[in-house]
């Protein structure tokens, strides 16, 4: 008999939203906000962790506080259809790459890069370009964030600003 994940309901959404807002909130605080007992919240959180809905808890750090003052997005174009695992091998070697994904469209991949300054970014870009299958890159430096960086996202991670819309 295979076990199935329990349904994700409105109370689960409210709990996830509360955790996104403040992962350090106690089960009692979350329970008071969503109308459940602390033990009921704990059971639901445990279930959501077991089911893979909640994958972990992390600290949010302001990148500039760590010296990462330059941010860019880099489109990567490959000579041939490089499999995602080859692209993953390249990005793993660069701690400055905080997010990487294959994409549709002309580019093969999109990288989110953080660097200490433009000179450091240029050095990272040259290392990316040195991969034998990388044909070209197109970069865009970030000037201003028009929306506040979401507090639930760690460095290089993004998440919905309103988890109540999670489906």
Confidence of residue 154 (pLDDT cuts 50, 70, 90): very low
Confidence of residue 149 (pLDDT cuts 50, 70, 90): low
Q: Is the separation of the CB atoms in 127 and 94 below 8 Å?
A: yes
| Mean pLDDT, the chain, integer | 86
Mean pLDDT of 40-65: 93
Task: Decide which of 152 and 100 is more confident.
Answer: 100
Mean pLDDT of 74-95: 86
Q: Which of 71-80, 105-114, 131-140, 155-164 has the lowest mean pLDDT?
A: 155-164
Q: Is the separation of the CB atoms in 103 and 141 below 8 Å?
A: no
- The sheet with strand 97-102 has its strands ordered as 97-102, 109-115, 70-78, 134-141
At 105-142, the pLDDT tens digits run 999 999 999 999 999 999 999 999 999 889 999 999 99
Beta bridge partners of 112: 73, 99
- Which H or E run includes 84? helix 84-92
Q: Is the separation of the CB atoms in 141 and 71 below 8 Å?
A: yes
Geometric angle at alpha carbon 17, from 13 and 18, rounded to 5°: 120
**DSSP assignment, residue 65?**
G
Domains of the chain: residue spans and CATH: 10-59 (1.10.10.10), 63-141 (3.30.70.920)
- pLDDT for residue 166 is more than 70: no
Number of C-beta neighbours around residue 135 at 10 A: 13
- pLDDT for residue 2 is more than 60: no
């Amino acid at each position: 008999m295979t076990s199935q994940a329990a349904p994700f309901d409105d109370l689960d959404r409210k709990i996830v939203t509360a955790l996104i807002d403040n992962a350090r909130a106690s089960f009692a605080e979350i329970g008071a906000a969503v109308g459940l007992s602390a033990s009921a919240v704990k059971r639901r959180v445990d279930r959501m962790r077991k089911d893979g809905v909640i994958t972990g808890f992390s600290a949010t750090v302001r990148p500039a506080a760590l010296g990462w003052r330059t941010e860019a997005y880099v489109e990567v174009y490959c000579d041939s259809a490089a499999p995602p695992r080859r692209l993953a091998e390249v990005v793993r070697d660069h701690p400055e790459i905080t997010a990487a994904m294959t994409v549709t469209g002309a580019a093969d991949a999109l990288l989110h890069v953080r660097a200490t300054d433009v000179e450091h970014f240029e050095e990272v870009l040259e290392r990316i370009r040195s991969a034998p299958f990388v044909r070209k890159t197109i970069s865009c430096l970030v000037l201003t964030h028009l929306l506040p960086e979401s507090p639930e996202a760690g460095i290089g991670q993004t998440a919905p600003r309103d988890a109540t819309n999670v489906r």
